[in-house]
Amino acid sequence: MDPGATAHPLREAAEKVKRAAAHLEALHAAIRQFNDSEPKPYRLVPEVDQASSRYLLRIRIERDPPPQWSLIAGDFIQNLRASLDYLVWQLVLDNDHRPGRGNAFPIFDEEPPRNPNNRHRQRWEASLRGVGPEAVEFIEALQPFNAPHGPDRHLLTALRELSNQDKHRSLMPAFSAIQREPGLADVTVVGVHDVRAPIEGGKLLAGRALGDGDLVLEAPIEILGPDPRVEIEGRLPLDVAFGGSLVPLEGLRQMCDAVAETLATARHLFG
């Protein structure tokens, strides 16, 4: 770049997103190494519940996710959150105002009432004090309260919750979980005894934190004798999720992409 050229006001915010992406890549690498290491961090234990005529598959957690994952995920989250705050700071400067400690990128699940005495309206106004009308409209359009399917599963809602947990409360816990797409399961029944084959109609219990001994798959069976057994081989599509809202790795990637897209779109706000 020409040493005399003026850097774009969002250059530092973009650098924060790049750093977040590097943390996410490091997190993926750490998880792959952990899952590929020996002995395996988990094993699957099949059983037959004769009372309900069901085949059950439970998970045994041999090793919990290391706390370093939570540290890396926290660095990822805080870089993303800071990049949005940097955006507001630069918007205030571009509007020929002086930013202050109260300026930050707001993330609201409900639209603040227009009443100037309402505390949510006051917090909204304080966050965007000095931001021009066009930029305020841009930020308002991004809010979870404007999401067509509600704020609960909005990426900015998840970003705010994870940031608050990591910043104010405790490390974001990392949980083993099963990916939601049932077609990813790679478990094959290789042998049965006193059970009619094939076993069909299985239900994969995905999308939740897994503890030692938790049920992960069940299927109805027909028992033919006194000693029913099922032998399986394969593995389940384990995922890793963070925080109380269980944001999976794919959700973190989508979050990073969304913030990067927000910064790219916001460039038109600067003269």
One-character DSSP codes across 205-258: --SS---TT-EEEEEE--B-SSS-EEEEEEE--EEEEETTTTEEHHHHHHHHHH
Dmax (CA) for the chain in angstroms is: 84
Instruction: Give the long-range contacts of residues 42-45, CB within 8 A, separation 24 or more.
Output: 42/176, 42/238, 44/187, 44/216, 44/232, 44/235, 44/236
pLDDT given for residue 184 in this prediction: 52
Find out whether the peptide bond into 198 is cis, omega within 30 degrees of 0. yes
Give the residue ranges of the chain where pLDDT is below 50: 1, 4
For residue 96, give both structure tokens: 């020929």
Handedness of CA 119, 122, 127, 128 (dihedral sign): positive
Give the residue ranges of DSSP H helices in 98-248. 119-127, 133-141, 155-164
pTM equals 0.85
Domain ranges of the chain: 11-269
pLDDT digits 0-9 by tens, 103-148: 999 999 999 999 989 999 999 999 999 999 999 999 999 999 999 8
pLDDT given for residue 185 in this prediction: 59
Cβ count near 57 (within 10 Å): 21
pLDDT given for residue 1 in this prediction: 46
Q: What are phi and psi of 57, to 5 degrees?
A: -125, 120
- Distance separating alpha carbons of residues 124 and 114, to the nearest angstrom: 10
